[in-house]
Amino acid sequence: MSQHLSELYRFLAGLIRFGTVVEADYSIARVRVDCGGVVSNWLPWIAERAGNDRSWHALEVGEQVAVLSPGGETAQGIVLGSIYQAAHPAPANSVDVRRYEFKDGAVIEYDRAKHKLYADIPGDAEIVAAKSITANAGTTVDAEAKERITLKAPLLEFEGGLIRLIGPIESGGRGGETHPMKINGPMEHTGGNYVNPDNDVVANGISLSGHHHVCPTCGETGAPK
């Protein structure tokens, strides 16, 4: 075999290597890869975006990767990306599914065949918008919390049809302060007594607990008891 062919084979053999990440330095976005017992220098990895828009999904120790080395020199190589292995198999088996599984158990998945976005977060989820957040649903919107749902705004508006509240309702401040409630329209109350302890009900300026009636035979009646 001529020296020229030997050099060509060496170049091709070193062009792409497979290995395992053995060290990571996230401050410089570099990893070292063990390729068949030979550990590389600090190498960058391919990012989805790295310009005005930037993305970050760092490689970890133990990931199996492919390394592209121009000229066959691993020192000048870049890590192309991860490869599934027995210890870390593929998290899905459908061409219609894009799925992310995280070490803490979080899952984010979109199934284009079912048109369904799914997220399972073991901790907190937060959305921050400098302006508006709009949510539209073709059928229903369900929200459930084990402890509390809090809405904070200078004005809460509900538009549409019937508003049904199931369960007790309490109006007022957290510290016990009172706030007025205004209802523009008729109100119907059924299924129990109207209880207003130690206070009064006033309609059209007339007190329920303090009003008097004129009696044609005995003057004016006392207040209700």
Query: Which DSSP string corresponds to 131-146?
Result: S------SS------S
* Res. 140: pLDDT tops 80: yes
Burial grade of 31 (CB within 10 A; 0-12, 13-18, 19 or more): buried
User: Alpha helix (H) ranges present in the chain?
Assistant: 3-15
Higher pLDDT, 5 or 157: 157
Distance CA 193, CA 23 (A): 72
Angle at 220 between CA 219 and CA 223, to 5 degrees: 155
Structure-block tokens of residue 13: 């053999």
Minimum mean pLDDT among 33-37, 151-155, 202-206, 212-216: which range? 212-216
Residue 64 has what DSSP assignment? Answer: E
* Res. 163: pLDDT tops 80: yes
N-term to C-term CA, the chain: 117
Q: What is the mean pLDDT of residues 155-164?
A: 85
Minimum mean pLDDT among 46-50, 62-66, 214-218: which range? 214-218
Residue 75 has what DSSP assignment? Answer: G
pTM of the predicted protein model: 0.73
pLDDT of the residue at 13? 66
